[in-house]
């Protein structure tokens, strides 16, 4: 891109950025207890665009108490499920009325192209809240026939109640800030829980704007509390004895910390962690479709997707052709600031993430992998932002760090395979198991691969397809529990069995 001149954000976005931002605790907008704030940067130029409150342990404690009070004493528990659903629907409407504002905030904060924020992040958020608005009235228990062999002749009626868990701590990442908040909040609220949400420090803005909308949507004070801050806030939330369940999306490393911290009061945990998902291309695939799909699988959201197709496994017969085509696609991607109308790939979220990705690239080079494309950051106008060029490594070895570790950037590692058995073994040869895609026209191969892959999601002839009604989550060290769909309710409800003896 020749110029980095970008349109000014909309007036309401500028107004919001210039505000003094506050936490949401017990329905009130408050400063962090220590009065501290932190800088929020635009990763396209690293300029400070806002200041967010730096909530810590004391704020988490206040927020957990407010959530408990709302769960036990406030009208929330007495509302009908239909009323809960209506609030979620209203929240979705309020976001939809502000698509452009939320999209611009997300782009300024995270760096992703505005076209993507507008077309994907915000509409998916709206749709997600609507899905759980509808589901609020469909949560139900069951009736069971029981025999009770040691009570011959007695008659029983057994039924289950599906009840909310209580106070839920939710810790979310920066790659899809508002959408990740929706994935966590929608199901928790539909099921009748109260929440303390901790956004990522890199991207607090859309959550702070969302905080303005809960009261208008009708949620009683304290049902949703939002505490922005640093890892201390997340650690305090996951260890807090007043929290009944913690849900986390982020790195596998922090996932381990969350599990340890949860032990104090044995709180329930659900984890959506890292991945090293393979895109698998068989020789009978539609190669145009596959090349575009494989490139999209890794370069969408700049590779900052937990399910990014970061490993490419191509049948040896078409290896050179397919890898060549994917590299051509990658070379054409227009890098630039997310707010620029021509941008197809923006900067990474932060300097730390840029350095982390560049460090993996250096490791790959040192390990002897061959750089086919990229492998560095752009110079010139873009040097002041957190950019990394789309990168393709080829003929990598299974033990290399760049093959085993989640890089979370626009870096693809490619290797050939011989047959179905070989590719299933290679695909499953990591600690992760979040997702995979299979590119083939052969339905038998597609089904056999889907069954053989140890992954929570398998896409066939597509990648990165999400829907609120489709469960998402990991095998192995990619986590446990499912996001979205009916399955997510299992993380946010507990089953009470009631046995009535009939006389
Ligand atoms: P983290 O896992 O550190 O951050 C995710 C969230 O956890 C943030 O809200 C963070 O807060 C919070 N957090 C950090 N430490 C703790 C803790 N000890 N206890 C509780 N909460 C905590 O990811 P990073 O941002 O550091 O990114 C590093 C790598 O993690 C990426 O390169 C990528 O590999 C992976 N990642 C995976 C994601 C996924 O979707 N699976 C999403 C994001 C990252 P704070 O922001 O204040 O640090």
- Summarised one tens digit per residue, pLDDT across range 395-448 is 899 999 999 999 999 999 999 999 999 999 999 999 999 999 999 999 999 999
Residue nearest to atom 6 of ligand 1 (CA): 173
Assess whether pLDDT exceeds 60 at residue 3.
no
Q: How far is the CA of 251 from the centre of ligand 1 (A)?
A: 5
Q: Which tens digit of pLDDT belongs to each residue from 162-210?
A: 999 999 999 999 999 999 999 999 999 999 999 999 999 999 999 999 9
Q: How far is the CA of 202 from the centre of ligand 1 (A)?
A: 10
Question: What is the pLDDT at residue 4?
Answer: 67
Residue nearest to atom 19 of ligand 1 (CA): 235
Q: How far is the CA of 320 from the centre of ligand 1 (A)?
A: 36
Cβ atoms of 413 and 393 closer than 8 Å: yes
Assess whether pLDDT exceeds 60 at residue 391.
yes
Q: Which tens digit of pLDDT belongs to each residue from 289-345?
A: 999 999 999 999 999 999 999 999 999 999 999 999 999 999 999 999 999 999 999
Q: Which atom in ligand 1 lies closest to the alpha carbon of residue 254?
A: 2
Question: What is the pLDDT at residue 137?
Answer: 98
Residue nearest to atom 25 of ligand 1 (CA): 173
Other Cβ atoms within 10 Å of 118 Cβ, number: 17
Residue nearest to atom 27 of ligand 1 (CA): 251
Residue (of 57, 47, 255, 287) closest to 171 by Cα position: 255
What phi and psi, each to the nearest 5 degrees, are found at residue 281? -115, 120
Q: Which tens digit of pLDDT belongs to each residue from 74-113?
A: 889 999 999 999 999 999 999 999 999 999 999 999 999 9
Cβ atoms of 222 and 195 closer than 8 Å: no
Assess whether pLDDT exceeds 80 at residue 1.
no
Q: Which tens digit of pLDDT belongs to each residue from 454-489?
A: 999 999 999 999 999 999 999 999 999 999 999 999
d(CA 217, CA 168): 20
Question: What is the pLDDT at residue 5?
Answer: 80
Instruction: State both tokens at 163.
Output: 């009840």
Q: Which residues line ligand 1 (CB under 6 A)?
A: 171-175, 198, 200-201, 230-231, 234-235, 238, 249-251, 254, 257-258, 272-274, 306, 356, 406, 408
Helix (H, G, I), strand (E, B) or coil at 239: helix
Question: What is the pLDDT at residue 493?
Answer: 98
Rounded to 10 degrees, the C-alpha dihedral 83/226/184/179 comes to 100
Q: How far is the CA of 197 from the centre of ligand 1 (A)?
A: 14
Instruction: State both tokens at 355.
Output: 């350095």
Q: Mean pLDDT across the chain, nearest whole number?
A: 97
Residue nearest to atom 18 of ligand 1 (CA): 235
| Residues belonging to the active site | 272, 306
Facing residues of 225 across strands?
196
Q: Which atom in ligand 1 lies closest to the alpha carbon of residue 237?
A: 20
Q: Are strands 224-226 and 28-30 parallel, antiparallel or unpaired?
A: unpaired
Cβ atoms of 391 and 361 closer than 8 Å: yes
Which bin fits 303, alpha (ψ -120 to 50), beta or left (φ > 0)? left
Q: Which tens digit of pLDDT belongs to each residue from 346-374?
A: 999 999 999 999 999 999 999 999 999 99
Q: How far is the CA of 480 from the centre of ligand 1 (A)?
A: 16
Question: What is the pLDDT at residue 491?
Answer: 96
Helix (H, G, I), strand (E, B) or coil at 34: coil
Residue nearest to atom 9 of ligand 1 (CA): 200
Question: What is the pLDDT at residue 74?
Answer: 80
> Please, what is the end-to-end C-alpha distance for the chain in angstroms?
80
Cβ atoms of 469 and 130 closer than 8 Å: no
Going by pLDDT thresholds of 50, 70 and 90, the confidence category of residue 449 is: very high
Q: How far is the CA of 38 from the centre of ligand 1 (A)?
A: 17
Question: What is the pLDDT at residue 17?
Answer: 98
d(CA 255, CA 269): 10
Assess whether pLDDT exceeds 60 at residue 2.
no
Q: Which tens digit of pLDDT belongs to each residue from 22-77?
A: 999 999 999 999 999 999 999 999 999 999 999 999 999 999 999 999 999 988 99
């Amino acid at each position: 891109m020749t110029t980095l001149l970008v349109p000014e954000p909309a007036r309401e976005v500028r107004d919001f950025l210039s505000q003094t931002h506050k936490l949401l605790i017990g329905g009130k907008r408050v400063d962090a207890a220590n009065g501290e704030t932190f800088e929020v940067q635009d990763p396209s130029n690293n300029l400070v665009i806002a200041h967010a409150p730096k909530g810590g342990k004391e704020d988490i404690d206040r927020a957990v108490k407010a959530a408990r009070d709302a769960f036990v004493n406030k009208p929330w528990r007495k509302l009908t499920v239909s009323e809960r659903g209506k609030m979620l629907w209203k929240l979705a409407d309020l976001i939809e009325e502000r698509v452009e504002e939320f999209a611009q905030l997300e782009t300024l904060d995270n760096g992703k192209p505005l076209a993507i924020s507008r077309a994907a992040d915000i509409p998916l958020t709206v749709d997600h809240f609507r899905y759980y608005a509808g589901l609020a009235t469909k949560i139900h228990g069951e009736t069971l026939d029981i025999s009770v062999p040691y009570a011959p002749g007695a008659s029983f009626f057994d039924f289950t109640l599906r009840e909310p868990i209580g106070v839920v701590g939710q810790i979310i990442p920066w790659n899809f800030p508002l959408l990740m908040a929706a994935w966590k909040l929608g199901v928790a609220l539909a099921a009748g829980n109260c929440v303390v949400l901790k956004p990522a420090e890199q991207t607090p803005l859309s959550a702070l704007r969302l905080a303005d909308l809960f009261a208008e949507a009708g949620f009683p004070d304290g049902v949703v509390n939002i505490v922005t801050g640093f890892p201390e806030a997340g650690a305090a939330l996951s260890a807090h004895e007043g929290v009944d369940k913690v849900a986390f999306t982020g790195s596998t490393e922090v996932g381990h910390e969350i599990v340890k911290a949860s032990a104090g009061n044995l709180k329930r945990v659900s984890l959506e962690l890292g991945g090293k998902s393979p895109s698998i291309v068989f020789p009978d695939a539609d190669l145009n479709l596959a090349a575009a799909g494989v490139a999209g699988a890794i370069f969408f959201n700049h590779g900052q997707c937990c399910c990014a197709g970061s490993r490419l496994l191509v049948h040896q017969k078409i290896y050179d052709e397919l890898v060549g085509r994917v590299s051509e696609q990658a070379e054409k991607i227009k890098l630039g600031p997310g707010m620029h109308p021509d941008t197809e790939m923006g900067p990474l979220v932060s300097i730390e993430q840029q350095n982390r990705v560049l460090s993996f690239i250096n490791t790959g080079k040192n390990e002897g992998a061959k750089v086919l494309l990229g492998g560095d950051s752009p110079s010139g106008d873009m040097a002041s932002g957190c950019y990394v060029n789309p990168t393709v490594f080829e003929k990598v070895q299974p033990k290399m760090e760049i093959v085993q570790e989640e890089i979370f950037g626009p870096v693809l590692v490619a290797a050939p395979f011989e047959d179905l058995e070989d590719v299933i073994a290679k695909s499953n040869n990591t600690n992760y198991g979040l997702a995979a895609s299979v590119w083939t026209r052969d339905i038998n191969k597609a089904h056999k691969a889907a069954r053989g892959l140890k992954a929570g999601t398998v896409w066939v002839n597509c990648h990165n397809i999400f829907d609120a009604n489709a469960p998402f989550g990991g095998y192995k060290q990619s986590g446990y529990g499912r996001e979205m769909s009916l399955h997510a309710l299992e993380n946010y409800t507990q089953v009470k069995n009631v046995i009535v003896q009939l006389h």
